[in-house]
C-alpha cells in the first residue's frame, strides 16, 4: 500500500488524511496516497490528534505509546510513526478494516 513508508529501526510511517467533526469514527478509504480517517473530535486543543492516535492504536492492536505524529499536528495531512508491529501485520490490519 502506498500509504506506508518503511523507516529504519523496524518502524514505518502511515500517511493519514483526517476529517474532523465527522458523524462517527471510521476509515473512509483512500484519499490520494493517504488513508482517509473520519474522526468525531473537533480540531481544537489537540482533541482530533488524540482521537486519531487512539483509533489507529485500536486498529493495529497497539498501545497508544507505539504511535506518534511526526508531521501535520495542525493539518489534515499527517504522518504517523508506528512501532512494535511489522509492516506486513499493519498492512493486513488496515486491509481488513477497509473491507
What domains are there in the chain, each with its CATH number?
A: 4-97 (3.30.1200.10)
Largest Cα span, the chain: 37
Q: What is the pLDDT along the chain (99 residues), one digit of tens a residue?
A: 799 999 988 899 999 999 999 999 999 999 999 999 999 999 999 999 999 999 999 999 999 999 999 999 999 999 999 999 999 999 999 999 998
Nine cell digits for residue 51:
482521537
Nine cell digits for residue 62:
497497539
Q: Of all helices (H) and strands (E), which one includes residue 15?
A: strand 11-19
Q: How far apart are CA 54 and CA 43, in angstroms?
A: 15
Helices (H), 1-99: 47-60, 87-97
Amino acid at each position: 500500500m502506498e500509504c506506508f513508508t518503511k523507516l529504519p529501526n523496524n518502524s514505518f510511517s502511515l500517511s493519514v488524511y483526517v476529517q474532523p467533526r465527522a458523524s462517527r469514527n471510521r476509515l473512509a478509504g483512500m484519499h490520494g496516497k493517504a488513508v482517509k480517517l473520519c474522526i468525531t473530535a473537533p480540531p481544537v486543543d489537540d482533541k482530533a490528534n488524540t482521537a486519531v492516535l487512539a483509533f489507529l492504536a485500536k486498529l493495529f492492536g497497539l498501545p497508544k505509546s507505539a504511535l506518534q505524529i511526526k508531521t501535520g499536528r495542525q493539518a489534515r495531512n499527517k504522518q504517523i510513526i508506528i512501532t512494535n508491529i511489522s509492516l506486513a501485520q499493519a498492512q493486513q490490519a488496515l486491509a481488513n478494516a477497509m473491507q
